[in-house]
Amino acid sequence: MIRLIPGGPMDYLRAQIRQQGGTPGEMDQLLQAYANMNPSDPLWKEYVSYMVSIHQGDFGQSLFYSASVTEILADAAPWTIFLMTISILLIYIFGVALGAVMAYYESGLFDNMSSIVSIVSNSVPYYVIALIFLFYFGFDLGWFPTVGRANDAVEPGLTFAFFAGVLNHVFLPAISLVLTSFGGIALAMRGNSIRVLGEDYIRVAHLRGLGDQRIATRYVGRNSVLPLYTNFLISIGYLFGGSVVLETIFRYQGLGYYLFEAISARDYPLMMGGFIIITVAVVIAMLIGDLTYGKLDPRAEQGDSHESY
């Protein structure tokens, strides 16, 4: 689909080579070196050639950066994974904890106020909060950096100064995602906990004289968190897709940043490489979810219901 978009960098390279007096053969060789495709071949042959190349770890050359796409993505991927890992963990830790407390104080003042906050949080787009934080805490107050992913003045390494700079750069992007995503998790955890509290096995546990802490952790908490496991893996794909806008706002050089730059510059090799990496990450996350959910919840493999657990 990307190769069929008209007016891309291939046409630009052809025009440049033609102006320099290059021959059609030289033009095809240069285009093939950059994109791992022979432009004189039919589209299906170009596709097969490209697929063979990427399975060998060669995504071609970036037309905009004049560098290997593999090297660019390999440098950017750890920073996006770091940002997304911190964000997802904070979203679920805070959301699950808040949802459990909301269910415990169901219909109380804390539950009502927290529900309103969660609904508002879940309704605000992350990029709105990101722009507000960038302007106020970055440009206005100058508390946090507005570009980059680490302190350029500090030599990269296993030092406190380097990690402090990394955390300083990642704070605003991560908190923008957390503040606009924890509400949905909290509401889901609240609903799951309230439903589990009404199950018969909870009443049986109370009749057996089990302590409230054991019931809350082993029965209510465990069975309430399990349905969120699938949402946890789906959110990986959602946040990876959202990283394009978020990393562009903060000029955070991760996968999303380079993907946006590639789209803007019509850098097709880099664009296709970025899409492939993000797609593979989402597919792997969903595959892990399908393979591991039955281990976490044996009822999924046995087809048992909650009542028979």
Which superfamily, per CATH, for 70-302? MetI-like (1.10.3720.10)
pTM: 0.75
Average pLDDT over residues 30-50: 69
CA 279 to chain CA centroid, Å, is 11
Q: How many Cα atoms within 13 Å fall on the side-chain side of residue 60?
A: 26
Question: Domain segments of the chain: what residues?
Answer: 9-55, 70-302
Which pLDDT does position 308 carry in this prediction?
Answer: 40
CA 278 to chain CA centroid, Å, is 8
Rounded CA gap, 61 and 69, in Å? 5
Mean residue pLDDT of the chain comes to 77
| Tokens linked to 112 | 């009502």
Which residues, 6 or more positions from 279, have their beta carbon under 8 angstroms from its beta carbon? none
Rounded CA gap, 229 and 235, in Å? 10
Most confident of 57-66, 87-96, 260-269: 87-96
Average pLDDT over residues 173-187: 87
Residue 249 pLDDT more than 50? Answer: yes
Which pLDDT does position 236 carry in this prediction?
Answer: 72
Average pLDDT over residues 2-20: 65
Least confident of 6-20, 71-85, 293-307: 293-307
Consecutive H or E run containing 27: helix 24-35
Rounded CA gap, 69 and 25, in Å? 24
Rg (Cα) of the chain, in Å, rounded?
25
- Distance (Å) of CA 4 to CA 47, 104, 267: 12, 56, 13
Q: How many Cα atoms within 13 Å fall on the side-chain side of residue 248?
A: 16
| Tokens linked to 176 | 């923008």
- How many helices (H) and strands (E) in the chain? 13, 0
Least confident of 128-137, 201-210, 250-259: 201-210
Residue 303 pLDDT more than 60? Answer: no
Which residues, 6 or more positions from 11, have their beta carbon under 8 angstroms from its beta carbon? none
Average pLDDT over residues 141-164: 76
Which residues, 6 or more positions from 64, have their beta carbon under 8 angstroms from its beta carbon? 9, 261, 262, 265, 267, 270
Give the amino acid at 47. Answer: Y
Q: With left for phi above 0 and alpha for psi between -120 and 50, is residue 268 left, alpha or beta?
A: alpha
**pLDDT tens digit string along 200-232?**
666 676 666 666 666 666 666 667 777 777 777
Which pLDDT does position 309 carry in this prediction?
Answer: 40
